[in-house]
Amino acid sequence: MKKGERRKLELLKIAYRLFISKGYENTSVDEIIEEAGIAKGTYYYYFESKEQMLEDVIEMMIDTEVETARLVLGAPIPVEQKIVGIISSIRPTQEESPIEGLLMKPENALMHKKTKQKIIEKLVPLLTEVVEEGISRGVFDCENIPERVRFLLILSSETFDESLFGENDITVFIDMMEKLLGAKAGTMGFVRMLIASENNDEKEK
């Protein structure tokens, strides 16, 4: 690893920490370089702009999550479960996650948005593969898979990341998922249990 690479990574890590603890908007370039002990010029030698840096930081953040999703892809489980596994990797197991929660803060709206977009972008090909597998097994039946899968990801992220969803939302989501993928009614019904139990865990706190 070259020296330049190391420096860039160092800056990325500092920024990551600062962005998360104080929000992107509230972190100035000056703070970052002060903490790193470098000059303004050096910073701009590595990043063409602050926003570009945010993009890089996000890339770092989501790599782990996408990795998890990729594991699911290869696992020896039914396609229906793979779907759910991958979809829920958007929403990391609540509490622990440093990312979730802090992204919810209003001052991180931009980060939040960009993160979601990037994750979806990376998850679409994975989910597409799963759906194709499902089709070949006769579980699903549809065309324009990437688009359908993207809709699914958008909906799940928009619906479930604020914790303001009810029974009916789940019902409709399942119904829509089945119809979108051309599955037989009831195929995805098991999802209800999963979501419901997770949701209860959260409410108990």
Partner DNA sequence: TATTTTTTCGACCGTTAGTCGATTTTTTAT
Partner DNA sequence: ATAAAAAATCGACTAACGGTCGAAAAAATA
Contact footprint for a copy of itself (CB under 8 A): 51, 106-107, 109-110, 112-113, 144, 146-148, 151, 154-155, 158-159, 168-169, 171-173, 176, 179-180
The least CB distance from residue 17 to DNA, in Å, is 16
Q: Which two tokens stand for residue 127?
A: 């989910």
Residues 6+ apart with CB under 8 A from 15: 27, 32, 53, 54, 57
Question: Residues 13, 21, 34, 49: which binds DNA (CB under 7 A)?
Answer: 49
Q: With CB cut-offs between 5 and 8 Å by kind, which of DNA, a copy of itself, none does residue 39 bind?
A: DNA
How many Cβ atoms from other residues are within 10 Å of residue 32's Cβ? 21
Q: Which of 137, 136, 125, 142 is nearest to 177 (CA)?
A: 142
Amino acid symbol at 191: V
According to the binding rule CB under 7 A, does residue 203 interact with DNA?
no
Please choose, out of 25-33, 71-79, 129-137, 165-173, the segment that lies near DNA by the rule CB under 7 A: 25-33
Please return the burial class of 135, using the count of CB atoms within 10 Å of its CB with bins 0-12, 13-18 and 19+: middle
- Which DSSP symbol is given to 68? H
According to the binding rule CB under 7 A, does residue 21 interact with DNA?
no
Dist. CA 15–CA 134, nearest whole Å? 41
Dist. CA 195–CA 53, nearest whole Å? 35
The least CB distance from residue 75 to a copy of itself, in Å, is 27
Please choose, out of 48-56, 66-74, 103-111, 138-146, the segment that lies near DNA by the rule CB under 7 A: 48-56
Instruction: Compute the radius of gyration of the chain from its Cα atoms.
Output: 20
Question: Residues 21, 42, 163, 197: which binds DNA (CB under 7 A)?
Answer: 42
- Which DSSP symbol is given to 54? H
Please choose, out of 44-52, 104-112, 146-154, 176-184, the segment that lies near DNA by the rule CB under 7 A: 44-52
Please choose, out of 24-32, 89-97, 124-132, 193-201, the segment that lies near DNA by the rule CB under 7 A: 24-32
For 149, phi then psi, to 5°, come to: -65, -35
According to the binding rule CB under 7 A, does residue 13 interact with DNA?
no
The least CB distance from residue 25 to DNA, in Å, is 7
Interface residues toward DNA, by CB under 7 A: 2-4, 7, 26-30, 37-42, 44-46, 48-51
